Structure 1
Amino acid sequence: MLKRTSSSEGTRDRILHAAIAEFSQRGYSGARIQAICRKSRANPRMIYHYFGGKDQLYVAVLEHVLGQLRAEELKLDFEHVGPVEGMMQLFDFTYDHFGQHPELIHILSGENLLRARFLKKSSRTPVVASPLIAMIAELLARGEKAKLFRRGIDPLQLYVAMVGFAYFHRSNAHTLSVIFQSDVLGDDWQAEHKRYAKEMMLGFLGPAPHKT
């Protein structure tokens, strides 16, 4: 029984990871079940057994890539560091995670073109259910109290801006590179962009200057 369960989990994982690659490369409409079967060494019957069909498999892919991001975020230790260090720790993680997982960018970009049609069907909704925003709010409150952060920063607005620094230039890298004749995915450009982004983030978070 244990061997059968282990084998079943292995088959399901192979299908899921093959589907992540296929949906990342081709989007929902272009992805083919036959290609996922070939890459995962599974037959269509197994896909329908574990996931129920293409739509449900795509929802599982969305839940996996978003859940992976959220699970890693929640491993960050905010309790034992100062608010500035904690916020920069989150910024570094977010920036680096999107850089290391281009499939997340591709899948999210495709799902936005679909107006979140499939994410709305998710029963897990890992983004909405996450305590991350509350954790950012706690960091902000500690920073305000220590007079390190300005007052009144909305934690969701801040997180969306943080993701924007990590996401926008990568999701639009090909057009930006052609328009401005610069390789925005190059290591040097990426490092410089991250430095600029951190400076802007720190400048925004800092206390407002006193009026004279």
Structure 2
Amino acid sequence: MVKQKQQLLPLFTFSCILFLLSTGYVLDAAGAEPSQALNRKFSLDGILRSEETEKYAVIFDAGSTGSRVHVFRFDPNMDLLRIGQDFEFYDKTNPGLSSYADDPQAAALSLKALLLEGQAVVPEELRPQTPVKLGATAGLRMLKNGASDEILQAVRDLFKNESSLEYKAEWVSILEGSEEASYMWCIQVSSTYSDLAPSTTFTSSVGALIAYLSPRSFPPSPVYTPPY
């Protein structure tokens, strides 16, 4: 039973994102209308190209304690497909980007091996149409004196110069607080769903998918105004 539940976790990763999509909390990639999600499908029009028979996405989850790379594979209907025996390729490195506050180049280079690993999973002919994206969390956001901006720029340079994947500068960014809150909500629900403490790999997968749908995926957090 435990093994069966562990096998279901990748599906829940997607279901969590789909719940956010179907409730309208997450907007589609164009930032226009809420996506209508069914099963494991969702809209990423404008990021993944519909004419391909299969699609890949390479996503970095840059957390406070370490960085993880995830490679996801989709069919033309945006159903998640297996990569080998799993629903994703995953690897990680420690420490996190924020540990390199005084050396932005070292921060970027800490991702190079993961970048090349993730890229190698994608068929060579699909790499120019495969987005590479990074979402960083609180550890990087709390750095001062422009250190986070310098690190992000170094990562952008790495992606642009050392990879044949599709790259845009805006795809390397720091997640907003509302995005991280949704990430944590998914993790809490996953614990109830599986009767297990969520694994590091699963937790990071949720974060990666949320990062993939950002920026412009989340509306601003509501501001409470007292009635008097």
TM-score (norm 2): 0.28
Q: Considering fraction of residues, name the structure with more helix.
A: 1
Which structure has more relative contact order (CA 8 Å, sep 6+)? It is: 2
- Which protein is bigger by CA-based radius of gyration? 1
